[in-house]
Amino acid sequence: MDPLDLHPLHLRSSGTSLLLAFHTGEAQIVHWGADLGEALPDLKLLAAPVPHSALDTPVIGGLLPQASSGWLGRPGLRGHRSEAGTPGFGFSPALRVVSADSDGGNTAVVLQTDPDAGIEVRTTVRLNPGGLLELSHTLTNTGATPYQLEELGLVLPVPGDAVELLDLTGRWCRENHPQRHPITQGTWVRSGRHGRTGHDSSLLVAAGTAGFANRSGRVWAVHFGWSGNHEQYLDTLGEGRRMLGAAELLGSGEIVLAPGAAYTTPVLYAAYSEHGLDGVTERFYDWFRARPQHVRTQDSAGGSGKARPVVLNTWEAVYFDHRIEPLIELAESAAELGVERFVLDDGWFRGRRDDHAGLGDWYVDEAVWPEGLTPLIDAVTSRGMEFGLWVEPEMVNLDTDVARAHPDWIVGPAAASHKDGGRLPLEWRNQHIIDLANPQAWQYIYDRIDALLRENNIAYLKWDQNRDLTEHGHHGRPSVHEQTLAAYRLFDALKAAHPQVEIESCSSGGARVDLGILQRTDRVWASDCNDALERQTIQRWTQAVLPPELVGAHVGPTHSHTTGRTHSITFRAITALFGHFGMEWDIRQATDHERAVLRRTIGVYKQHRGLLHSGVRVNADLGEPNLRLHGVVAQDRSEALFAAVVMASLASEMPGRVGVPGLDPERTYRVEAIMPTAEDVGESPYVQIAPPGWLDGGLTASGRFLAEVGLPLPVLRPEHALLLKVTAV
């Protein structure tokens, strides 16, 4: 079929439209944003004007931007061939549409080819029922010689009224903090060369109208679902057009496609919202929760798996001090509080008395566990709890049997193993990386973890990855791409063999949090920081994309191990409630008062986890930057939980009245403060002579009143929180 005769493809769902046109001979996205309705004009009349001192025909910003169509910004495809040993040939493709098909619903497949360049690109576009867009390319080498791929980007146009850009950044123990700035001419780029997603990676890149906020403004946002090296960018040309995109960041010569071979990009996920960032969040939550493998979020029968159990992790309780008697005491203490999953962290395997040795020798240490893990597992399961175990399968210490026996399994930049003079990357936490692109190494790791799961009653793996993949090579060539895919295969194979086992993605905390890894894991560890003040920001922005049931949130010790701060038990408990709740603390040392608050919080969590893990996340827009109000509202708006949080001292003497967002304006609600109660309070969280009138007895008002007039909040001390229960009456 002549591409000029192809009809436009219009995908519509949940207030979002994506319009693909082909009348120029090239596929281009004419619109991604608000729903356009059914009536469309003649798209040929939307051709851009031709200004002076420019190409003589309108420039096309295609589905894959190309210089052959006049695009002067960042190209969508970069690559070349060698002829007679000389590289650089076929550097500028002219891809044109061959076919464009729709399934009659919300999926389109577009095929573009350049026979002269020997390249074919098949693009899949899917607009999910909740409005989340998925975009990916597959490039096939149809030529007779190898094709070296340098970059294959995924881009979406954003309109000129998107004038501000928000992204996230961070570091170890301070992941996912926002930064925003005006959009100006040029190319803004965020590069991630960690070999993993990265502590500083942006989970979300959002372009929006002036002043867009939590609940207002139009927003176009993307997430790149990949756990390896990547770039995210906004390309703004001098002629005014903008492309928001991402691509895998490939090493030199990393992808060389033989004739007939293909490369598929990771998926770019994209959300449009007319109601600020919370609308973007709702798109992502709908997509996650519609997946067949998604964790169950209710306490009723059905679903895949079980409701999110209360967790106790042993790391900040015992560290490497693994002795059966204290661990059984810890299990007894946990069971008495109502814990449902007990996780033994680092230190259980051969030679692992500190972080200098042991990684790679995945055998239970007979010196520490002469009877294996069975006595502890039995002590845990006999008390009604599941048993979980920490592993780090992708890493290796040099002081291990496996490293001594197989030096060629250790990743390095040289073709020779370090034993034969090959240089190793710098160490990180005294460890290196197992080359999973080596089939023998991959099989060894699979066999060891598979054996652990077959020989022990393990319901959960905390799967860590504690270093960047610097100078990562296989046989002397860069191989982050191969390593990432091999790691995915490892997760997938173990999941297939042990479907009942849940897996957490941990990577020094939040350095591997993305939708690529979450296709094969059941939750993430958002940060190694359990400081509740830091966690307020980390969890808010991690949950801008990930629903709370996928985000581990633990009550840490009174004195934070990573920041040195001390926080009240109620502040720590309320913070951890808004996630997959747990504890990481030697709770044997907790005071009677702290244990009473923990027991009460666990009861609140168990009562409301169905709401917390299925509802709509809302974040109020407040003028005071140190005051926050966030919550979860039930899908039918019959109930909600909110937390009012004072992050630091307020500019005003009183916080004033705060509107409660997300409720049904026509319904009547009862609002009650449920934490802290008089029994919860050791030192009072308030700085006031008298509380606001509603605080002790509650308040009944309409959703409209609560949103527009709001509630006068008590004067909370800095770094304290108030938990509110809202129920329709």
Non-local CB neighbours of 244 within 8 Å, separated by 6+ positions: 155, 156, 157, 158, 205, 207, 220, 222, 233, 234, 270
Closest CA to 293 of 278, 305, 311, 301: 305
Phi, psi of 188 (to 5 degrees): -90, 130
What phi, psi does 32 have (nearest 5°)?
A: -135, 115
The strand pair at 177-182 and 147-152 is best described as: unpaired
User: Quick one: which H or E segment has residue 389?
Assistant: strand 386-391
Burial class of residue 81 (count of CB atoms within 10 Å of its CB; 0-12, 13-18, 19+): buried
Torsion on CA atoms 245, 246, 251, 256, rounded to nearest 10: -80
Q: 384: Cβ–Cβ under 8 A, 6 or more apart, which residues?
A: 335, 340
Burial (CB count <10 Å: 0-12, 13-18, 19+), residue 174: buried
- Phi and psi based region of residue 363 (left: phi greater than 0; alpha: psi -120 to 50; beta: remaining): beta
Q: How far apart are CA 73 and CA 347, in angstroms?
A: 51
Spatial separation of the C-alpha atoms in residues 529 and 508, rounded to whole Å: 10
Own/partner pairs, 15-21, CB within 8 angstroms, 24+ separation = 15/131, 15/272, 15/274, 16/127, 16/131, 16/133, 16/272, 18/125, 18/127, 18/133, 19/43, 20/63, 20/100, 20/108, 20/110, 20/125
User: How many CB atoms sit inside 10 A of residue 705's CB?
Assistant: 18
Catalytic residue list contains 447 = no
**Closest residue by Cα to residue 166 from 133, 216, 203, 215:** 203
Distance CA 30, CA 157 (A): 8
Q: What is the CA 582 to chain-centroid distance, rounded? A: 19
Query: DSSP state, 179?
Result: E
461 DSSP β-pair partners: 389, 503
Q: What is the phi-psi region of residue 90: left when phi exceeds 0, alpha when psi lies from -120 to 50, beta otherwise?
A: left
Neighbour count for residue 129 (Cβ, 10 Å): 12
Give CA–CA dist 620/216, Å, rounded. 10
Q: What distance in Å separates the CA atoms of residue 523 and residue 549, rounded to the nearest whole number?
A: 7
Is 528 one of the annotated active-site residues of the chain?
A: yes
The C-alpha angle 201, 202, 208, rounded to 5 degrees, equals: 165
**Considering 464, 468, 531, 680, which one is annotated as catalytic?**
464
Q: Which residues contact 194 (CB under 8 A, 6 or more apart)?
A: 201, 229, 468, 469, 511
Tokens of 222: 């993307």
Cis peptide before 115 (omega within 30 of 0): no
* Catalytic entry in 514, 528, 531, 680: 528
Indicate the length of the chain as a whole number. 729
Residues annotated as catalytic are: 464, 528
